[in-house]
Amino acid sequence: MTPGQPRWRRRKDARPAEIVTAALEVFAERGFAAARLDDIAARAGVSKGALYLYFETKQELFEAVVRDTVLPDLDAVEQVATNLELPFRQLAPMLAARLALLLTTSSLPAVAKMVIAESRNFPDLARVWHDQVVSRALGVLTGVVKAAQARGEVRPGDPRFHALSIAGPMLMGVLWREVLEPVGAEPIDLPALAMQHVETALVGLLTPEARA
Amino acid sequence: MTPGQPRWRRRKDARPAEIVTAALEVFAERGFAAARLDDIAARAGVSKGALYLYFETKQELFEAVVRDTVLPDLDAVEQVATNLELPFRQLAPMLAARLALLLTTSSLPAVAKMVIAESRNFPDLARVWHDQVVSRALGVLTGVVKAAQARGEVRPGDPRFHALSIAGPMLMGVLWREVLEPVGAEPIDLPALAMQHVETALVGLLTPEARA
DNA sequence: CGTAAATAACTGACCAGTCAGTTATCAATG
DNA sequence: CATTGATAACTGACTGGTCAGTTATTTACG
């Protein structure tokens, strides 16, 4: 024993953030159900009991992860998207690039995968995800499409479906990377996919006049 | 006690199929890890021990589910897709309709969701899924696109990306239905999405000459 | 000191996989 | 047409291990 060093420190205000960071990692690696609180605690440098000083249950910890680590990322994309003034032809590639960056650098895909995984057994997780992430993101995209339709830039049709036409391949690419690449599938270049898809989708979505 | 009725019957040849059916239901409802073999057994009308007469482990049972219930569905779609002769403009909507039907009536989406869910903790599951389902399905679609490019019907570009452009929104629609609708999200009309998307994608993918 | 932060040992519930024992079924026999 | 083994299908209680959440105790620190 080195008696000069205390075995631990009281750090009431630093703990929550450290725990949330550790929780994000472990949740992403193992999924909600299979994530062990002991592992999260160890990675955060505390004991399991300490977790319960700051979070009442495992679920509450997950909600904190979404709130603290995913929502800020989403805000950044939303910022770009609400430039409704820009012509769709220019806005779409910007959005796609921003999104591709987010999906390759942030932990959003890992959390998304986890929510898909556990939605049936932990519906509260899915509800939080839907209310705070998906419906907001899709709402923004749908709004962009609708505005472009109003300006005559985008062909008629359900704007929500158009939004899915744009976002779907990205999701598929992400899932490919998260689920299949780890077991040996041929890798996908996500930004390249985003660029080629946006090009294709633009031709398909724009009115003949707007293509000029 | 009604002594005339036996407590159970020996039905060696009927059991495996019944167990696989029950397993599909429970796996789809709860995911692989959370599915209880006791539940599967109960739903199949046998004891847990009986499961082990026909399947060595839980994983082997899952593989049987894929083999017996998913692959036949896939074969049917593959049939349509290998009509490589047909012009892409006609083949694509047919494929989309067939796929939409499959995704709304079969159990494929539920199994897919499960695989996504458990891929990290049970990589073998994901490998089976990739080798036997995804890579085959995507291969067929990529082949169709490539053939159409060779005939000058489809614009240049990575045919694999084009395939993802086509299939992605369908996957997104399916996940929406599986994950978010159960927790209160606004429902999506999957066949309608398929039709509108294929229309959009066709315009985007076809060469100007092929659009005639 | 007092007290709040943190620990570590503990509890209770859960479940995959096992196995000793039970019972349906059927072929052989009287 | 019984009766009787023999056999293999089937059962259900049990084991060993895991893990969320609890609590009695220790320790940092104002």
Q: Please report the DSSP string for chain B in residue order.
A: --TTS-S----TTTHHHHHHHHHHHHHHHH-TTT--HHHHHHHHTS-HHHHHHH-SSHHHHHHHHIIIIIHHHHHHHHHHHT-TTS-HHHHHHHHHHHHHHHHHHSSHHHHHHHHHHHTTT-HHHHHHHIIIIIHHHHHHHHHHHHHHHHTT-B-SS-HHHHHHHHHHHHHHHHHIIIIIGGGTPPP--HHHHHHHHHHHHHHHHB-TGGG-
Nearest to A137 by CA among A172, A102, A175: A102
Q: Residues at the strand C interface (CB under 7 A)?
A: A 7-12, 15, 41, 45-50, 53; B 6-10, 34-38, 48-49, 52, 57-58
Q: How far apart are CA A58 and CA A53, in angstroms?
A: 12
Residue A34 in any domain: the answer is no
Residue A16 in any domain: the answer is no
CA A18, C1' C4: Å apart? Answer: 20
In our burial notation (b when 16+ CB lie closer than 10 A, e otherwise), range B177-189 reads bbbbeebebeebe
Q: Are B129 and B159 found together in one domain? A: yes
Place of tokens 């067929």: B140
B147 — pLDDT class (breaks 50, 70, 90):
very high
Q: How far apart are CA B112 and CA B126, in angstroms?
A: 10
Give residue-wise pLDDT tens across range A149-160: 999 999 999 999
Q: Are B63 and B157 found together in one domain? A: yes
Q: Are B198 and B107 found together in one domain? A: yes
Comparing alpha-carbon positions, the chain B residue that sits nearest to A200 is: B204
More confident residue, A53 or B70: A53
Q: Which residues of B touch A200 (CB under 8 A)?
A: 155, 157, 162, 165, 201, 204-205
Q: Domain range holding A78?
A: 59-211
A191 — pLDDT class (breaks 50, 70, 90):
very high
Task: List protein-proximal bases of chain C (any atom < 7 A from a CB).
Answer: 4-9, 14-20, 23-25
* Total tally of structural domains belonging to chain B: 2
CATH of the domain at A118: 1.10.357.10
Comparing alpha-carbon positions, the chain A residue that sits nearest to B175 is: A116
Positions 75-134 in B, CB within 7 angstroms of strand D: none
Q: Are B168 and B110 found together in one domain? A: yes
CA A82 to chain B, closest CA, distance in angstroms equals 23
Residue A35 in any domain: the answer is no
Residue B2 burial (C-beta neighbours within 10 Å; 0-12, 13-18, 19+): exposed
Q: What angle do CA A78, A25, A18 make, to 5 degrees?
A: 90
Q: Does B10 touch chain A (CB under 8 A)?
A: no
B84 — pLDDT class (breaks 50, 70, 90):
low
Q: Are B51 and B64 found together in one domain? A: no
> A179 and B126: CB-CB below 8 Å?
yes
Share the mean pLDDT of chain B.
Answer: 91
CA A83 to chain B, closest CA, distance in angstroms equals 24
B184 — pLDDT class (breaks 50, 70, 90):
very high
Residue B80 in any domain: the answer is yes
More confident residue, B124 or A52: A52
Give residue-wise pLDDT tens across range B21-72: 999 999 999 999 999 999 999 999 999 999 999 999 999 999 999 899 989 8
Comparing alpha-carbon positions, the chain B residue that sits nearest to A133 is: B180
At residue B120, the pLDDT reads 85
Residue A125 in any domain: the answer is yes
B192 — pLDDT class (breaks 50, 70, 90):
very high
C-alpha to C-alpha distances, A109 to A37, A121, B3, nearest whole angstrom:
22, 20, 59
A2 — pLDDT class (breaks 50, 70, 90):
very low
A4 — pLDDT class (breaks 50, 70, 90):
low
Residue A110 has pLDDT above 90, yes or no: no
Residue B192 in any domain: the answer is yes
Point out the nucleotide closest to A47 (alpha carbon to C1′): C7
Share the mean pLDDT of chain A.
Answer: 91
CA B13 to chain A, closest CA, distance in angstroms equals 33
At residue B117, the pLDDT reads 81
Q: Are B121 and B207 found together in one domain? A: yes
Q: How many other CB atoms are there within 10 angstroms of residue B77's CB atom? A: 19
Q: Are B39 and B133 found together in one domain? A: no
> B184 and A130: CB-CB below 8 Å?
yes
Residue B2 in any domain: the answer is no
Comparing alpha-carbon positions, the chain B residue that sits nearest to A119 is: B179
Q: Are B177 and B86 found together in one domain? A: yes
Residue A29 in any domain: the answer is no
At residue B2, the pLDDT reads 40
What share of chain A has pLDDT > 70, as a percent?
97
Residue A78 has pLDDT above 90, yes or no: no
CATH of the domain at B23: 1.10.10.60
Q: Are B62 and B164 found together in one domain? A: yes
Q: Are B98 and B165 found together in one domain? A: yes
Mean predicted confidence (pLDDT) in B168-181: 94
Q: Are B102 and B72 found together in one domain? A: yes
Is residue B133 within 8 A of residue B102, CB to CB? The reply is no
CA B5 to chain A, closest CA, distance in angstroms equals 38
CA A24, C1' C25: Å apart? Answer: 57
The DSSP 8-state label assigned to residue A154 in this structure reads: B
The DSSP 8-state label assigned to residue A46 in this structure reads: S
Q: What angle do CA A189, A190, A195 make, to 5 degrees?
A: 100
> A173 and B168: CB-CB below 8 Å?
yes
Q: Are B41 and B118 found together in one domain? A: no
The pair of three-digit structure tokens given for residue A167, joined into one six-digit string: 């976002």
